[in-house]
Structure 1
Amino acid sequence: MKQNAETVVTEQNQLAQSSKDIEAQFAAIMTALTERQKMYAKYAEKLARIHEVSHSLTRCQLALATALDSIETLNRQLPTSDRLEEFIWSTG
């Protein structure tokens, strides 16, 4: 009985040590994953900002196109001698 009890105690100690090792590895993995999530959250935030800027630029382009159309319409209503030159928008 004593020999069996010692064997059981030894195995229990090995299991306890293995459990501690696994727990330490799990904690390290969780720390690494948490850091990775923080990094990706920063990237996602930057992408969201880029999307907002892109959306703002699109709205500005639409507003500019509308303004230019209005200016052209008003310009056509002026007498020929008072008309402005046609505005040509070029990029680059």
Structure 2
Amino acid sequence: MRGTLSLPAYRDPEILERLHPNHVLNMCTRLQTHYNLCATKIAQDQGVINSKIKEVDQDVGKLLNKMTERQKQFSTYADAFTKVRQISQQLSRCNSLLNQNIELMESLNNVLDVENRLEPFVWTTK
């Protein structure tokens, strides 16, 4: 109270004499009760927020585990697709080489005399 009286404003020297201690005590008690209620409410809200954070953290952990498992699963799928692509490339190369060999066989067969020639090679796929 004395600090507020030292402010550069109108000063009433008898203000402290006119204040009743019971009124000041009553005001301070009400203020203390109000602050206590506010602190209790804030503590409850913080507890709720804390529990929600823990729930969200657990949910995020579960999602992370699921995503890790899916990533591992998709990694195995990607490996399988890579193997399929490699086999497909190898089959294409084999087909190309086989076609080249057939052409070379026909060329060699055409070089032979007519009586020594083999019958034409027919390639069929089923």
RMSD of aligned residue pairs (Cα, Å): 1.0
Computing the radius of gyration from Cα coordinates, the structure with the larger value is: 2
Q: 4+ residue stretches of structure 1 with deviation over 6 A?
A: none
1:68 aligns with 2:96: no
TM-score where L is the length of structure 1:
0.92
Runs of 5+ in structure 2 lacking a partner? 1-34
Q: Secondary structure of the residue that 2:118 maps to in structure 1? A: coil
Runs of 5+ in structure 1 lacking a partner? none
Which amino acid in 2 is paired with 1:17? Answer: S
Matching residue of 1:32: 66
Equivalent residue pairs, number: 92
More helix by share: 1
C-alpha offsets along residues 25-62 of structure 1, whole Å, 9 cap, x if unaligned?
11111111111111111111111111111110010000
Q: More relative contact order in 1 or in 2 (CA 8 Å, sep 6+)?
A: 1
Identity of aligned residues (%): 27
1:54 aligns with 2:88: yes
